[in-house]
Amino acid sequence: MLALELYTAAQALDLRRDMINAARALARRADAAALADKIRGGPAADGPGRERFLAEAEALRGQLAAADAFHPGAAVATAHARIRATVPFLERDRALDGEVAAMVGLVASGALLADRS
């Protein structure tokens, strides 16, 4: 179970990093309206509450544009690198028996908990 949880967490970390970095790039090159258009569930351009939504999108845009690069902490980055050295990012659906076996081996070996130096 732990091997599957770690495999899933590595995948989620990659996806989250890409999502946050894409949002930061958009925030730096576009205005609040462009960012608001990417947010699901917001009011239509001519709908009620649009002005408040745009103000909130502008605040978010400012925070994203000013934010430092996304990166995990040192221990998570080390574990992620060890996982990715063992199993690749899941670009598309495929049989995972080989990756699952490799992750079980990685966890069983203790390599994820080894000295981080």
Encode the chain (117 residues) as per-residue pLDDT tens digits.
Answer: 999 999 999 999 999 999 999 999 999 999 999 988 888 888 988 889 999 999 999 999 999 999 988 889 999 999 999 999 999 999 999 999 999 999 999 999 998 887 755
- 103, 83 in Cβ contact below 8 A? yes
pLDDT value, residue 116: 58
Count CA within 13 A, CB hemisphere, residue 5.
Answer: 3
| Amino acid, single-letter form, for residue 60 | L
In whole angstroms, give the CA distance from residue 2 to residue 41: 35
Domain around 92 = 2-113
- Tokens standing for 43? 């009011």
pTM to 2 decimals? 0.76
> Which pair of tokens denotes residue 17?
């990093």
Q: How many domains does the chain have?
A: 1
Predicted pLDDT of residue 117: 53
Q: What whole-number distance in Å separates Cα of residue 75 and Cα of residue 32?
A: 35
* 38-47 per-residue burial string, b: 16 or more CB within 10 A, e: under 16: eeeebeeeee
